[in-house]
Structure 1
């Protein structure tokens, strides 16, 4: 069970780093408390600098939106090693990036309870499984 809280305050006028970072309008943090099935509890705090002062609800939406994008980038980098690709031609790079994101979507939509990496390996080994993933059907 996850419980999340978000806090955001306006930057005070006497904030020491304001001269170095004049764009900062608010400072916030997100707290995530997780109760695990074994009864243990863990917490995590993340801090944010913002160029806009938002309502608490909007700040929470922005944080969750940021991490959903970061999550996709992490998947692309870990599973597809996207950061290692050195395509110089812009159109080709954009097309390959789109294909990788499309592949992630297809793999996530396949109903098997396996990791993305496991599904990729299954596609590589078994053409019937690849057909299932590409057609979004279970054979």
Structure 2
């Protein structure tokens, strides 16, 4: 068994429990951004004018949440590809169950 020590700096006055919660929340957000960049290739987007960048960011996050919620045991990458290849799987993701 190994033990790691990490130090964090914050100007907020937090209890140890609240500080741990804030740290976990931060890494959850970082994890989502990693998925958006690696799986959805967000950093490669060339949209710069008008509202295109914001609109596509919203669409990517919507797709991310839909795929994450309905992927079952598949990885997000595999579920995203399956939705592109299989219209029945895509319909199961976006349509309410009957």
State the TM bucket, normalised to the shorter chain. 0.7 to 0.9
**Counterpart of 1:23?**
none
**Greater strand share, structure number:** 1
**Counterpart of 2:94?**
134
Q: Deviations over 1:29-73 (max 9, x none)?
A: xxxxxxxxxxxx454443322233422122111101101110110
Residues 102-113 of structure 1 mapped to structure 2, 5 A cutoff? 102-113=62-73
**TM score, norm. by length of structure 1:** 0.63
- The answer to whether residue 34 in structure 2 is matched with residue 74 in structure 1 is yes
**Greater helix share, structure number:** 2
Alignment RMSD (CA, Å)? 2.0
Runs (4 or more) in structure 1 with deviation over 6 Å come to none
**TM score, norm. by length of structure 2:** 0.86
**Counterpart of 1:123?**
83
- The answer to whether residue 41 in structure 2 is matched with residue 84 in structure 1 is no
**Counterpart of 2:10?**
50
Distance 1:73 1:118 in 2: 18
Number of aligned residues: 98
Gap runs ≥5 in structure 1: 1-40
Q: Deviations over 1:81-100 (max 9, x none)?
A: 11111211241111100111
